[in-house]
Copies of this chain bind each other. A is one copy, B any other.
Amino acid sequence: MKKDVNLTVQALQRMPYYLQCLRKVKENGIQIVSATAIANELNLNDVLVRKDISMICTTKGKPKTGFIVDELIENIEDYLGYNNTMDAILVGVGSLGKALLGNSEFNKFGLNIIAAFDIDEDIINQVICGKKVFAIEKLQNLCERMHIHIGIITVPAEFAQEVADKFVNSGIKAIWNFALIKLSVPEDVLVQNENLAASLAVLSQHLRNEMDENK
């Protein structure tokens, strides 16, 4: 794997789809696949797929046939870090927080939520899906001691910034933010927003177009 390169965010986000497609191909017993075939399956341009592959894979494709499926899968999994797990903590054990804690699929993606935090006395010290919930005061100590660099925010929007600040003080470098708010953090800290309102906006516009067309 070429681990020194950096993909664009767009290319990076296509990778899980490639992986899904490649695994499906593999299940069908196919060992060699062309970029064209992947592109058709995922409704992408074939040159784009070839370029994405060339960015992170050492494997070369063979004309007329394509790439070795197993090698592509391995290269992509390596690049995405599916083979060496990152530890993370989660703050806000409400309904969304619980759903995330219970999501067994994260392990497959190299993410391991090792603990959760909340302010609600009723939740603190409970164990949710095998993960203990601590008082928020214990956040910094635990993060530093365990060298945690990923934090997940699932508290209501009005508390998200104060949680983010705590994260920053605890050495967290990547924040996965499910609250609908723009967080302020230092440059070296990445915020990945999971913004449902933005998604809804896309759905809503499409629907309006559809309705307008049919009348």
Listed in ascending order, the chain A residues whose CB lies under 8 Å from chain B are 3, 6-7, 9, 12-13, 15-17, 20-21, 41-43, 80-81, 86, 95-96, 98-99, 102-103, 105-106, 109-111, 149-150, 173-174, 176, 180-182, 188, 190, 192, 194-211
Q: Do A204 and B13 touch (CB < 8 A)? A: no
Q: How many copies does the complex hold?
A: 2
Q: Are A81 and B208 also in contact (CB < 8 A) when A109-B200, A192-B203 are?
A: yes
Which of B102, B188, B202 makes the CB contact (< 8 A) with A192? Answer: B202
Give min CB distance, A12 to chain B, whole Å.
5
Q: Do A182 and B20 touch (CB < 8 A)? A: yes
Give min CB distance, A183 to chain B, whole Å.
11
Q: How far is the CA of A131 from the CA of B86 in the complex (A)?
A: 37
Q: Do B149 and A202 touch (CB < 8 A)? A: no
- Complex contacts, A81 vs chain B, CB 8 Å: 204, 207-208
